[in-house]
């Protein structure tokens, strides 16, 4: 697993700046998590068949634990699953819409429809096993 500097940017749990959907050509799959916001959520959901959105906050310790796992899976599952990052403090409309009351929460969308959520941090293998049923 990679080591990530979690203090590089105060608005990112894993120290990086995320690209948004606008930074990718239609028909291409990102190999890194996308920045998901109140403004671009619908466009993001409309572009990819399977999306997992990691709902996080800067003050959340478990969010920092799962951040490198999300990074790894985004790279490993590119072309199969798209991962997104949603800061719940900055995107309250989506947080309320999907009833986010604990973080990290992973929201799973298939063909633009919300299908499931996973609450809490977990080991990479466990997360892969849970997501396997949605891919393909």
- Top pLDDT among 98 and 135 is at 98
Domain of residue 74, residue span: 21-130
Weakest-pLDDT range from 21-25, 52-56, 82-86, 131-135: 21-25
Query: Residue 3: inside a domain, yes or no?
Result: no
Query: Residue 11: inside a domain, yes or no?
Result: no
What pLDDT is attached to residue 15?
Answer: 62
- Condensed to tens digits (0 to 9), the pLDDT of residues 71-96 reads 999 999 999 999 999 999 999 999 99
pTM, to two decimals: 0.85
Neighbour count for residue 127 (Cβ, 10 Å) = 19
Residue 60: CATH number of its domain: 3.40.30.10
Residue 101's nearest CA partner among 35, 41, 58, 57 is: 57
Query: Residue 9: inside a domain, yes or no?
Result: no
Q: Is 63 an active-site residue? A: yes
Query: Residue 109: inside a domain, yes or no?
Result: yes
Query: Residue 38: inside a domain, yes or no?
Result: yes
Q: Is 55 an active-site residue? A: no
Given 50, 60, 86, 107, the catalytic residue: 60
**H/E run at residue 105:** strand 105-110
Query: Residue 12: inside a domain, yes or no?
Result: no
The answer, yes or no, to whether the previous bond of 119 is cis (omega within 30 of 0) is: no
- Top pLDDT among 22 and 58 is at 58
Q: How many domains does the chain have?
A: 1
Given 6, 55, 63, 108, the catalytic residue: 63
Query: Residue 49: inside a domain, yes or no?
Result: yes
């Amino acid at each position: 697993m990679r080591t990530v500097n979690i203090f590089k940017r105060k608005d990112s749990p894993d120290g990086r700046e995320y690209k948004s959907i606008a930074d990718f050509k239609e028909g291409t799959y990102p190999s890194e998590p996308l920045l998901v916001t109140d403004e671009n959520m619908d466009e993001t959901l409309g572009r990819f068949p399977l999306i997992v959105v990691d709902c996080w906050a800067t003050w959340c310790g478990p969010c920092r634990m799962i951040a490198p796992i999300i990074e790894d899976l985004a790279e490993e599952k590119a072309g199969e699953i798209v991962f997104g990052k949603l800061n719940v403090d900055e995107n309250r409309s989506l947080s309320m819409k999907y009833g986010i009351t604990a973080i990290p929460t992973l929201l799973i969308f298939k063909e633009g429809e919300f299908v499931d959520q996973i609450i809490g941090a977990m080991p990479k293998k466990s997360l892969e096993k849970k997501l396997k049923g949605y891919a393909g």
